[in-house]
Structure formats: C-alpha cells, structure tokens
C-alpha cells in the first residue's frame, strides 16, 4: 500500500489495521452514532484482514484504553478474518459489498458498538458505499 500520501505534506502515509479499542474510547469521549469506515478498497486484495480487538499491557490483557505513559508497553491483540479478494471500488451500497467485506463491517460494529453507515471504496469523494 505504497500509494498513500498526505495531501498537504506529500509524505508517505502508513495504513494500519482497524483498532476497535481506540474507536470505542473515541466514542466514549465524543459520543457519535455512526462510523465512516475509510479505505476499505485498500483491503480488496488481501487474503486475510486483521482487527485489533484489545491490548496486552506488560503481557496482561487490559479492558481499557491505556494512557499515554503506558502506550509504549502495549501490544495489540488481533483477530484475523478472511479477505474478500474482490474489487469494491464500484460499490455504492453497503449491502452490495462482498460477503466477507460485510462480515468485516459487522464485526467492527460488534466490537465498537456503533453502526457503520459509510464505507470509502476509493479515493474520490463520490466513491462511497452507504447504508440503505
């Protein structure tokens, strides 16, 4: 995934696995009702996709988002899901996404407690799959 660059700086951008504890924490702080899941098209050619479901702090599971002084000692815990190996860039409705992509989205909803209403399927503003 070396075609991601910052619009302002032009620097190469690193993409990571979805981090459910961060989103749960962000929702606790900000209180949103829906998620916009960006860059799902970047996962189209992956056989397996990971989701961070929690953390180990000093090797022990924690059920909270660690504070900044602890973050360097945290290790993510991943759940692996099958990829969909299909092009999603032309999809405009979430229900029309490949089955494994819908399962991935459903799992994110379960882990975050928040509905995914928008899914980015390309770089353009109009390249968006929405909830019916």
The predicted structure's pLDDT at residue 18:
96
Q: What DSSP assignment string belongs to the chain?
A: ----B-TTT--B-----EEHHHHHHHHHHH--SEEEE--GGGGTT-SEEEEEEEEEETTEEESSPPPTTTGGGEEEEEEEEE---S--TT--BGGGS-HHHHHHHHHHHHHHTSEEEEEE-SSSTT-EEE--
Q: How do the domains of the chain map onto residue ranges?
A: 18-130
Could you read off the pLDDT of 86-107 as tens digits, one per residue? 999 999 999 999 999 999 999 9
Residue 5 has pLDDT above 70, yes or no: no
Residue 63 has pLDDT above 50, yes or no: yes
As a whole number, mean pLDDT of residues 4-23 equals 79
- Architecture of the structural domain at 18-130: Alpha-Beta Complex (3.90)
pTM: 0.89
The predicted structure's pLDDT at residue 132:
82
């Amino acid at each position: 995934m070396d075609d991601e660059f910052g619009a302002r700086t032009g620097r190469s951008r690193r993409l990571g696995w979805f981090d459910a504890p961060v989103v749960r924490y962000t929702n606790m702080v900000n209180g949103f009702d829906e998620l916009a899941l960006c860059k799902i098209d970047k996962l189209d050619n992956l056989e397996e996709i990971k989701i961070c479901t929690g953390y180990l702090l000093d090797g022990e599971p924690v059920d909270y988002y660690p504070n900044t002084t602890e973050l360097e000692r945290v290790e993510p815990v991943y759940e692996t899901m099958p990829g969909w190996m299909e092009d999603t860039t032309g999809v405009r409705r979430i229900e029309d996404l490949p089955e494994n992509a819908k399962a991935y989205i459903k799992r994110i909803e379960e882990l975050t407690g928040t509905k995914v209403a928008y899914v980015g399927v390309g770089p353009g503003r109009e390249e968006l799959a929405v909830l019916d």
